[in-house]
Protein backbone atom coordinates (compact mmCIF):
# COMPACT_ATOMS: atom_id res chain seq x y z
CA UNK A 1 0.00 0.00 0.00
CA UNK A 2 1.03 3.62 -0.51
CA UNK A 3 2.94 5.53 2.12
CA UNK A 4 0.37 7.37 4.26
CA UNK A 5 0.19 11.15 3.95
CA UNK A 6 -0.03 12.95 7.29
CA UNK A 7 -0.89 16.61 7.73
CA UNK A 8 1.38 18.08 10.40
CA UNK A 9 -0.11 21.26 11.88
CA UNK A 10 2.27 23.54 13.74
CA UNK A 11 5.06 22.09 11.63
CA UNK A 12 7.38 25.06 12.26
CA UNK A 13 7.09 24.77 16.06
CA UNK A 14 9.37 22.99 18.51
CA UNK A 15 7.85 19.51 18.33
CA UNK A 16 6.84 20.04 14.68
CA UNK A 17 10.41 20.75 13.66
CA UNK A 18 11.63 17.62 15.47
CA UNK A 19 8.91 15.49 13.86
CA UNK A 20 9.57 16.77 10.32
CA UNK A 21 13.01 15.32 10.85
CA UNK A 22 12.08 12.05 12.58
CA UNK A 23 8.64 10.87 11.38
CA UNK A 24 9.42 10.10 7.71
CA UNK A 25 11.68 7.22 8.85
CA UNK A 26 8.58 5.59 10.41
CA UNK A 27 6.97 5.43 6.96
CA UNK A 28 5.04 8.65 6.40
CA UNK A 29 4.89 11.42 3.87
CA UNK A 30 4.30 14.74 5.55
CA UNK A 31 2.39 17.82 4.53
CA UNK A 32 3.49 20.71 6.71
CA UNK A 33 1.05 23.41 7.79
CA UNK A 34 2.04 26.49 9.71
CA UNK A 35 1.34 30.21 9.88
CA UNK A 36 4.95 30.89 8.99
CA UNK A 37 6.79 29.60 5.91
CA UNK A 38 9.19 26.70 6.34
CA UNK A 39 12.26 26.61 4.10
CA UNK A 40 13.02 23.50 2.06
CA UNK A 41 9.70 21.73 2.64
CA UNK A 42 8.34 20.39 -0.65
CA UNK A 43 4.75 19.96 0.63
CA UNK A 44 4.18 22.99 2.86
CA UNK A 45 1.10 25.15 3.34
CA UNK A 46 1.25 28.58 4.95
CA UNK A 47 -2.17 29.21 6.51
CA UNK A 48 -3.96 30.16 9.71
CA UNK A 49 -6.40 27.57 11.10
CA UNK A 50 -9.03 30.33 10.86
CA UNK A 51 -8.75 30.30 7.04
CA UNK A 52 -11.37 27.66 6.37
CA UNK A 53 -10.82 27.14 2.63
CA UNK A 54 -7.03 26.98 2.99
CA UNK A 55 -7.40 24.54 5.88
CA UNK A 56 -9.80 22.29 3.95
CA UNK A 57 -7.43 22.24 1.01
CA UNK A 58 -4.54 21.28 3.31
CA UNK A 59 -6.56 18.49 4.93
CA UNK A 60 -7.86 17.16 1.58
CA UNK A 61 -6.39 13.82 0.56
CA UNK A 62 -4.52 13.17 3.78
CA UNK A 63 -4.76 9.87 5.67
CA UNK A 64 -4.37 11.36 9.14
CA UNK A 65 -3.58 14.59 10.96
CA UNK A 66 -1.00 15.21 13.66
CA UNK A 67 -2.30 18.34 15.34
CA UNK A 68 0.54 20.21 17.03
CA UNK A 69 -0.56 23.75 16.14
CA UNK A 70 -1.48 26.28 18.78
CA UNK A 71 0.07 28.23 21.60
CA UNK A 72 2.28 25.88 23.63
CA UNK A 73 2.54 27.85 26.87
CA UNK A 74 0.33 30.04 29.02
CA UNK A 75 -0.95 33.19 27.33
CA UNK A 76 -3.95 35.46 27.58
CA UNK A 77 -7.36 33.82 27.47
CA UNK A 78 -8.18 35.67 24.23
CA UNK A 79 -5.11 34.31 22.45
CA UNK A 80 -5.64 30.78 23.78
CA UNK A 81 -9.29 30.95 22.75
CA UNK A 82 -8.43 31.83 19.18
CA UNK A 83 -5.39 29.64 18.57
CA UNK A 84 -6.13 26.55 20.64
CA UNK A 85 -9.87 26.35 21.25
CA UNK A 86 -11.23 27.77 17.99
CA UNK A 87 -8.26 26.47 16.01
CA UNK A 88 -8.75 22.88 17.17
CA UNK A 89 -12.49 23.07 16.51
CA UNK A 90 -11.83 24.36 12.98
CA UNK A 91 -9.37 21.57 12.32
CA UNK A 92 -11.90 18.91 13.36
CA UNK A 93 -14.54 20.51 11.16
CA UNK A 94 -12.17 20.44 8.19
CA UNK A 95 -11.38 16.78 8.94
CA UNK A 96 -15.08 15.95 9.09
CA UNK A 97 -15.81 17.73 5.83
CA UNK A 98 -12.88 16.09 4.07
CA UNK A 99 -13.47 12.62 5.50
CA UNK A 100 -10.21 12.26 7.46
CA UNK A 101 -10.70 9.51 10.03
CA UNK A 102 -7.73 9.81 12.38
CA UNK A 103 -6.29 12.69 14.35
CA UNK A 104 -3.46 12.61 16.83
CA UNK A 105 -3.94 15.53 19.21
CA UNK A 106 -1.05 17.07 21.10
CA UNK A 107 -2.66 17.40 24.50
CA UNK A 108 -0.47 18.20 27.47
CA UNK A 109 0.30 17.23 31.02
CA UNK A 110 -1.08 20.69 31.86
CA UNK A 111 -4.63 19.37 31.26
CA UNK A 112 -4.14 17.64 34.60
CA UNK A 113 -1.35 19.89 35.85
CA UNK A 114 -3.02 20.72 39.17
CA UNK A 115 -2.89 17.04 40.18
CA UNK A 116 -0.65 16.64 43.26
CA UNK A 117 2.80 15.21 42.57
CA UNK A 118 2.62 11.54 43.66
CA UNK A 119 4.44 10.79 46.89
CA UNK A 120 6.70 7.77 47.43
CA UNK A 121 4.59 4.61 47.22
CA UNK A 122 1.66 6.38 45.56
CA UNK A 123 0.33 4.80 42.36
CA UNK A 124 1.16 6.48 39.06
CA UNK A 125 -1.33 9.12 37.86
CA UNK A 126 -3.91 7.30 35.73
CA UNK A 127 -5.20 8.63 32.39
CA UNK A 128 -8.72 8.81 33.82
CA UNK A 129 -7.71 11.17 36.62
CA UNK A 130 -10.08 14.17 36.54
CA UNK A 131 -9.18 17.13 34.37
CA UNK A 132 -7.34 19.66 36.56
CA UNK A 133 -5.93 22.32 34.25
CA UNK A 134 -3.25 24.54 35.70
CA UNK A 135 -3.57 27.42 33.19
CA UNK A 136 -5.81 28.69 30.38
CA UNK A 137 -3.38 26.75 28.19
CA UNK A 138 -4.13 23.54 30.12
CA UNK A 139 -7.83 24.36 29.96
CA UNK A 140 -7.58 24.50 26.15
CA UNK A 141 -6.07 21.01 26.17
CA UNK A 142 -9.00 19.76 28.32
CA UNK A 143 -11.28 21.27 25.69
CA UNK A 144 -9.34 19.55 22.90
CA UNK A 145 -9.69 16.18 24.61
CA UNK A 146 -13.44 16.68 25.03
CA UNK A 147 -13.74 17.88 21.44
CA UNK A 148 -11.96 14.70 20.32
CA UNK A 149 -14.39 12.57 22.35
CA UNK A 150 -17.32 14.45 20.83
CA UNK A 151 -16.11 14.00 17.25
CA UNK A 152 -15.63 10.29 17.91
CA UNK A 153 -19.06 9.80 19.47
CA UNK A 154 -20.87 12.01 17.00
CA UNK A 155 -18.92 11.71 13.76
CA UNK A 156 -16.72 8.60 14.08
CA UNK A 157 -13.44 10.50 13.80
CA UNK A 158 -10.82 8.68 15.86
CA UNK A 159 -8.30 10.52 18.04
CA UNK A 160 -5.39 9.64 20.22
CA UNK A 161 -4.92 12.52 22.68
CA UNK A 162 -1.36 12.47 23.94
CA UNK A 163 -0.67 14.34 27.17
CA UNK A 164 2.85 15.20 26.25
CA UNK A 165 5.34 15.82 29.04
CA UNK A 166 8.41 17.81 27.96
CA UNK A 167 9.51 16.99 24.42
CA UNK A 168 12.94 18.52 24.03
CA UNK A 169 16.33 17.11 23.04
CA UNK A 170 17.40 17.04 26.69
CA UNK A 171 15.81 17.14 30.16
CA UNK A 172 16.71 20.51 31.69
CA UNK A 173 15.10 20.37 35.17
CA UNK A 174 14.55 17.75 37.89
CA UNK A 175 10.83 17.90 37.11
CA UNK A 176 11.60 16.91 33.53
CA UNK A 177 13.36 13.78 34.78
CA UNK A 178 9.82 12.46 35.34
CA UNK A 179 8.00 13.82 32.28
CA UNK A 180 10.69 14.00 29.56
CA UNK A 181 9.77 12.66 26.14
CA UNK A 182 12.86 12.25 23.99
CA UNK A 183 12.32 13.34 20.39
CA UNK A 184 13.01 9.78 19.17
CA UNK A 185 10.43 8.36 21.59
CA UNK A 186 8.06 11.15 20.54
CA UNK A 187 8.29 9.95 16.95
CA UNK A 188 7.73 6.35 18.13
CA UNK A 189 4.67 7.41 20.10
CA UNK A 190 3.19 9.49 17.27
CA UNK A 191 3.76 6.56 14.93
CA UNK A 192 1.91 4.22 17.33
CA UNK A 193 -0.93 6.73 17.71
CA UNK A 194 -1.23 7.15 13.94
CA UNK A 195 -1.17 3.44 13.18
CA UNK A 196 -2.86 1.57 16.06
CA UNK A 197 -6.26 0.14 15.15
CA UNK A 198 -9.64 0.93 16.67
CA UNK A 199 -8.57 3.64 19.06
CA UNK A 200 -11.92 5.45 19.24
CA UNK A 201 -10.85 8.29 21.47
CA UNK A 202 -7.89 7.18 23.55
CA UNK A 203 -6.02 9.38 26.04
CA UNK A 204 -2.42 8.51 26.86
CA UNK A 205 0.52 10.12 28.62
CA UNK A 206 3.55 10.82 26.50
CA UNK A 207 6.97 10.32 28.05
CA UNK A 208 10.06 8.20 27.66
CA UNK A 209 10.68 5.15 29.87
CA UNK A 210 11.96 7.42 32.63
CA UNK A 211 13.16 5.84 35.88
CA UNK A 212 11.28 8.63 37.72
CA UNK A 213 8.02 8.42 35.77
CA UNK A 214 4.97 9.61 37.74
CA UNK A 215 2.18 8.58 35.39
CA UNK A 216 0.77 5.45 33.83
CA UNK A 217 2.48 4.68 30.51
CA UNK A 218 0.49 1.46 29.98
CA UNK A 219 -2.21 3.09 27.80
CA UNK A 220 0.53 4.33 25.46
CA UNK A 221 2.20 0.92 25.44
CA UNK A 222 -1.17 -0.63 24.59
CA UNK A 223 -1.03 1.29 21.30
CA UNK A 224 2.26 -0.45 20.52
CA UNK A 225 4.56 2.24 21.88
CA UNK A 226 7.86 0.85 23.14
CA UNK A 227 9.93 3.75 24.53
CA UNK A 228 13.71 3.37 24.29
CA UNK A 229 15.01 6.35 26.25
CA UNK A 230 15.32 7.24 29.94
CA UNK A 231 15.98 10.74 31.31
CA UNK A 232 18.16 9.22 34.05
CA UNK A 233 21.22 10.04 31.91
CA UNK A 234 20.61 13.70 32.85
CA UNK A 235 19.85 13.07 36.55
CA UNK A 236 23.23 13.52 38.23
CA UNK A 237 23.91 16.87 36.60
CA UNK A 238 20.40 18.26 37.22
CA UNK A 239 20.24 17.08 40.84
CA UNK A 240 23.68 18.57 41.52
CA UNK A 241 22.33 21.88 40.25
CA UNK A 242 18.76 21.91 41.71
CA UNK A 243 18.68 19.27 44.42
CA UNK A 244 16.21 16.38 44.46
CA UNK A 245 12.62 17.14 43.51
CA UNK A 246 10.87 18.45 46.61
CA UNK A 247 7.03 18.40 46.59
CA UNK A 248 6.95 20.73 49.62
CA UNK A 249 8.19 23.49 47.28
CA UNK A 250 5.15 25.17 45.65
CA UNK A 251 6.59 24.99 42.13
CA UNK A 252 7.17 21.25 42.53
CA UNK A 253 4.02 20.29 44.47
CA UNK A 254 1.90 19.49 41.42
CA UNK A 255 2.37 17.76 38.10
CA UNK A 256 2.37 21.02 36.12
CA UNK A 257 5.32 22.42 38.09
CA UNK A 258 5.95 26.14 37.65
CA UNK A 259 2.81 26.53 35.50
CA UNK A 260 0.95 26.60 38.83
CA UNK A 261 3.12 29.28 40.40
CA UNK A 262 3.98 31.51 37.43
CA UNK A 263 2.02 34.77 37.64
CA UNK A 264 -1.13 34.83 35.47
CA UNK A 265 -0.91 36.64 32.12
CA UNK A 266 -3.57 39.35 31.90
CA UNK A 267 -4.62 41.04 28.67
CA UNK A 268 -3.00 44.46 28.89
C1 LIG B 1 3.92 21.97 27.66
O2 LIG B 1 2.75 21.70 27.45
C3 LIG B 1 4.65 22.97 26.85
O4 LIG B 1 4.19 23.02 25.54
C5 LIG B 1 6.14 22.72 26.86
O6 LIG B 1 6.79 23.85 26.34
C7 LIG B 1 6.66 22.41 28.25
O8 LIG B 1 6.51 23.52 29.07
C9 LIG B 1 5.91 21.24 28.81
O10 LIG B 1 4.53 21.43 28.76
C11 LIG B 1 6.28 20.91 30.25
O12 LIG B 1 5.40 20.68 31.06
O13 LIG B 1 7.47 20.85 30.55
ipTM: 0.98
Asked if the model's pLDDT at residue 18 lies above 70, the reply is yes
Predicted TM-score (pTM) of this structure: 0.98
The pLDDT tens digits of the residues spanning 63-77 come to 999 999 999 999 999
For residue 39, what pLDDT band results from cuts at 50, 70 and 90?
Answer: very high
The pLDDT of 16-21, averaged and rounded, is 98
What is the longest distance spanned by two Cα atoms in the chain? 54
Q: What's the gap in Å between 182 CA and the centre of ligand 1?
A: 13
41 contacts: CB under 8 Å, gap ≥ 6: 11, 20, 32
Q: Which string of b and e fits 202-220 if b means at least 16 CB within 10 Å?
A: bbbbbbbbbebbbbbbebb
For ligand 1, is residue 72 a contact (CB within 6 Å)?
yes
| Centre of ligand 1 from the C-alpha of residue 108, in Å | 7
pLDDT in the model for residue 266: 86
What tens digit of pLDDT does each residue of 70-126 get?
Answer: 999 999 999 999 999 999 999 999 999 999 999 999 999 999 999 999 999 999 999
Residues of the chain with pLDDT > 90, as a percent, come to: 98
Supply the pLDDT for residue 267. Answer: 84
**Backbone φ and ψ of 7, nearest 5°:** -85, 125
150 counts as catalytic: no
Note every long-range contact of 45-51, with CB atoms under 8 Å and residues 24 or more positions apart, other chains counting.
49/9, 49/83, 49/86, 49/87, 49/88, 49/90, 49/91, 50/82, 50/86, 50/87, 50/90
Question: Residue with the nearest Cα to atom 5 of ligand 1?
Answer: 166
Mutating to test ligand 1, I would choose from 164, 171, 238 the residue with most ligand atoms within 8 A of its C-beta, which is 164
Atom 4 of ligand 1, residue of closest alpha carbon:
72
**Using H for helix, E for strand and C for coil, what is the string for 12-24?**
CCHHHHHHHHHHH
What mean pLDDT is predicted for residues 3-11?
A: 98
All domains of the chain in start order, with CATH:
5-261 (3.40.50.720)
Distances (CA, A) of 168 to 27, 177, 180: 22, 12, 7
Candidate of 70, 107, 108 to mutate for ligand 1, largest count of ligand atoms within 8 Å of Cβ: 108
In angstroms, rounded to a whole number, what is the distance separating the alpha carbons of residues 170 and 35?
A: 27
For the chain, give the mean pLDDT.
98
For residue 257, the ligand 1 atom closest to its alpha carbon is 12
Amino acid sequence: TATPLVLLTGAAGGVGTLMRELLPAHGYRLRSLDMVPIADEPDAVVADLADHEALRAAVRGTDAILHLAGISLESTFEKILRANIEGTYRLYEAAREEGVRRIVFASSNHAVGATPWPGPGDPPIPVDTPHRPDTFYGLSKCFGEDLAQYYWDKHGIETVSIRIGSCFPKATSVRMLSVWLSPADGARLFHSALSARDVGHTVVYGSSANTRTVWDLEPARALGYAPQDDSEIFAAELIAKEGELDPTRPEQAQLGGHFLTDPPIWPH
